[in-house]
Amino acid sequence: MKDLTRGSIVSHILSMAPPIVVGMITIMICQLVDLYFVSGLGEAAIAGVAAAGNAGFLVNALMQVLGVGTVALMAHAVGRKDRDDANLVFNQSVVLSVLFGILTLVAGLALSRPYMRAVAADEATVEAGTVYLLWFMPALALQFATQVMASALRATGIVRPSMLVQALAVVINIALAPVLITGWGTGHALGVAGAGLASSIAVFVGVLMLFGYFLKLERYVAFHPEQWRPQLRQWKRILNVGLPAGGEFAMIFIIMAVGYYVLSIFGPAAQAGFGIGTRLLGLIQMPALAIALAAGPIAGQNFGAGNGARVRETFVKASLIATAVMIVFMILAQFAPGLLLAGFSRDQETMAVASLFLRLVSLNMVAQGLIFTCSSMFQGLGNTKPVLWTSATRVLTYSLPSIWLSTWPGFRMEHVWYLSIATTTLQAALSVWLLLREFRKRLALPAQEKVAKPANPEPVVPPMREPA
């Protein structure tokens, strides 16, 4: 366990962010590897896998419910020096991860084809996306267990083991993808089914490695079977924090689905370019997201310890670092989109769409960095409802106008991306305003902190409301 209530906040952020970003990039690389090897199967396969991968955002919403709830409550417990509560939250989250995994498998089997029919441009894309989803669903189901274990470690300030496990899983995926997709060395090509199967095998191995780490090396929290009996009060605590954060990811799913829907009138090449562009944009945003994710446990532990000044300082420092990083990558996307996109498709129309998307939507990156940071700070405070409100605002101001614009005779795809720039900026401004209001409500004023803080560096009575 790492005590984040002491020491330099910038140092904590910069030490935690690199392993987090490596872990996230490895996950993104899995998706890009699938797209790379599937690209040789044609436009329909690319568009199908890209659209099917968007369904992963919806499953990620459920993962966020568990991950955010686990990080927030465990970080508060660590800040209060309450190890028993931290272990109870962890073990109840493990139980929920099993239930959510089963739900994902059942829903995937039942809804994969209806979902693809709703978003795909033609029957070939529907078939490719459906086959990929059916083989990819075990990976999504197993990710719940990975999410809970990684979140528990992050709440205690430990991020390196999760990164190493994810990196090894990606190596396995990269090794298996060409073998299963194109039949390298075997002569038995599985096509898009091989892409999903490679990911599922890699995630399964990753779960086993993390499980082994907790059994042999982790000391602060551990598996306690006697705590696996469902406790509805603990579930309510986890879901109260996690559900709004999961709703945020559901909103992202809606925005992505609307994008695929309005682009369907331009054909599978436009959808394929959009799919490649969104994944690459997500990849170059990962460093700023990692900085924001590092800020969450720091804010959570200090909130639990009653140190409001360090919570505020965490927001300021994380915002400045994330903004600087986003500016660098925005310049890269503006002036060298072709360099980023090289090798992902031989179709010129697909690459033209992806390049245009990157140049326009990358103008969102500074605003998106602030959104990431505010979201993580709300998670650290244990109140994620404002995150859901701001995301819902973006959905309303983006989705309905996008569908309306698509009915215009002179509609062009860049109209949707101009709208995205405006609505993302609006969400960022609203997020910052709500977070500052939350600080005033839940954190004591600096003068009050000085009065309440005794000589002992660890306060007896926290100068703020106890976390839920």
Distance CA 310, CA 316 (A): 10
**What pLDDT is attached to residue 318?**
95
DSSP helix, strand, coil percent of the chain (3-state; round to 5): 85, 0, 15
Give residue for tokens 């500016």. Answer: 327
Residue 69 lies in a domain: yes
Q: Would you place residue 57 in the very low, low, confident or very high pLDDT band (cuts 50, 70, 90)?
A: low
**What pLDDT is attached to residue 324?**
95
What single-letter amino acid sits at 65? V
Q: Which two tokens stand for residue 22?
A: 């490596």
Residue 468 lies in a domain: no
- Percentage of the chain beyond pLDDT 90 is 35
Distance CA 214, CA 210 (A): 6
Q: Would you place residue 337 in the very low, low, confident or very high pLDDT band (cuts 50, 70, 90)?
A: confident
Q: Would you place residue 246 in the very low, low, confident or very high pLDDT band (cuts 50, 70, 90)?
A: confident
Sequence-ordered strand ranges (E) for 313-460:
none
Helices (H) and strands (E) in the chain, counts: 16, 0
> What is the mean pLDDT of the segment spanning 278-295?
86
Residue 452 lies in a domain: no
Residue 221 lies in a domain: yes
What single-letter amino acid sits at 42? G
For 289-311, the pLDDT digits (tens) are 889 989 999 999 999 888 889 99
**What pLDDT is attached to residue 453?**
43
The closest alpha carbon to 197, from 211, 183, 187, 210, belongs to 183
Residue 276 lies in a domain: yes
pLDDT over threshold 60, residue 468: no
pLDDT over threshold 70, residue 31: no
**What pLDDT is attached to residue 63?**
84
> What is the mean pLDDT of the segment spanning 386-401?
91
CA–chain centroid gap for 204, Å, is 19
Contacts with 216 (C-beta within 8 Å, 6 or more apart), sequence order? none
Residue 4 lies in a domain: no
- H-only helix segments in 336-364: 337-341, 348-361
| Confidence (pTM) | 0.76
pLDDT over threshold 90, residue 96: yes
**What pLDDT is attached to residue 53?**
66
Range of the domain at 164: 9-446
Residue 43 lies in a domain: yes
Distance CA 133, CA 116 (A): 9
Distance CA 5, CA 310 (A): 8
Contacts with 412 (C-beta within 8 Å, 6 or more apart), sequence order? none
For 160-184, the pLDDT digits (tens) are 888 888 888 888 988 898 899 888 8
For 411-460, the pLDDT digits (tens) are 888 888 899 899 999 999 999 999 999 999 988 654 434 433 444 444 43
Q: Would you place residue 314 in the very low, low, confident or very high pLDDT band (cuts 50, 70, 90)?
A: very high
> What is the mean pLDDT of the segment spanning 378-389?
91
Number of domain units in the chain:
1
pLDDT over threshold 80, residue 462: no
For 132-165, the pLDDT digits (tens) are 888 988 988 999 999 899 999 989 888 888 888 8
- Percentage of the chain beyond pLDDT 70 is 90
Residue 2 lies in a domain: no
pLDDT over threshold 80, residue 244: yes
Q: Hey, how many other C-beta atoms are within 10 angstroms of the C-beta on 439?
A: 16
For 222-241, the pLDDT digits (tens) are 899 999 999 999 999 999 98
Q: Hey, how many other C-beta atoms are within 10 angstroms of the C-beta on 328?
A: 12
pLDDT over threshold 80, residue 252: no
**Mean pLDDT computed over every residue of the chain:** 84
For 183-211, the pLDDT digits (tens) are 887 778 888 888 889 889 999 999 999 99
Contacts with 277 (C-beta within 8 Å, 6 or more apart), sequence order? 341, 353, 354, 355, 357, 358, 361
